[in-house]
Structure 1
Amino acid sequence: MEDEEAFRAAVRAQAAAMLNDDASPYDPALEIWGLAMREWPGDDGDEACYSLHLIWGALTDWVEFRPAEADQAEMHMITAAREWMSVEGDREAEARYFDRWVHDILEYERPAPIQS
């Protein structure tokens, strides 16, 4: 998978699986993280790969490193998948989604403003 559309279609399929399956969302979440790690189409200016890597890596790590909180992490996975399905393809909405999930929800530090 070397192009943006194939990457996004694969992510969409995994997000849909989380929403359409009664099984744990962990495995599809791990797949999204893996897709973002392996494919890295971010070179073409698509921020999705980098940001999805951060989001899904943090959510799957949450399950792995704090198993007592797995239910809470999995609820976040389902919410993240549902929200992604509603914004994917609208670059401005995606940017807001990434900012909210990466910085507000998962609490990655925002980069310092670039000073000229």
Structure 2
Amino acid sequence: MDDSEAFRAAVRVQAAAMLNGDASPYDRALEIWRLAMGEWPGRDGDEACISLHLIWGALTDWVELRPAETDQAETHMITAAREWLTVEGDQQAEARYFDRWIYDILGYERPSVTG
């Protein structure tokens, strides 16, 4: 991907396909993760790929590392995809989505605030 518009369009296609049941949520989630990895470190000033990389990497790792919890992980994938399609394109809504998914749901450590 060479620009954020193409990247975002490709992510929308994968998220919509996940909701339509065109493939397993895991397969679509893995593709979103791959798309985000291909955009690293965020071309065109669009940092969504970094956050999407973290979210979808954690969700796919969940299936790979704890296969007995696949159903639970895939339920989260579907929810994340549905929410992304709702907020994508609204910078403030995206920021809330990223904050909630990265820190509150997936448990990444929040950066320390100094100053």
Aligned-partner Cα distance in 1 for 2:114–2:46: 21
Aligned-partner Cα distance in 1 for 2:45–2:100: 20
> Residues 44 and 71 (structure 1 numbering): CA distance in 2 closer, same or farther, change over 3 Å?
same
1:11: how far off? 0.3
Partner of 1:36: 36
What is the identity percentage for the equivalent residue pairs of Structure 1 and Structure 2?
80
Tell me, yes or no, if the aligned pair for 1:3 and 1:41 is still in contact at 8 Å: no
Paired positions, count: 115
Tell me, yes or no, if the aligned pair for 1:29 and 1:77 is still in contact at 8 Å: yes
Listed as ranges, the gaps of 5+ residues in structure 1 are: none
Partner of 1:19: 19
Aligned-partner Cα distance in 2 for 1:40–1:7: 11
Runs of 4+ in 1 over 2 A off after TM superposition: none
Listed as ranges, the gaps of 5+ residues in structure 2 are: none
Structure 2 counterparts to residues 1-116 of structure 1, below 5 A:
1-21=1-21, 23-40=23-40, 42-115=42-115
TM-score by length of 1: 0.94
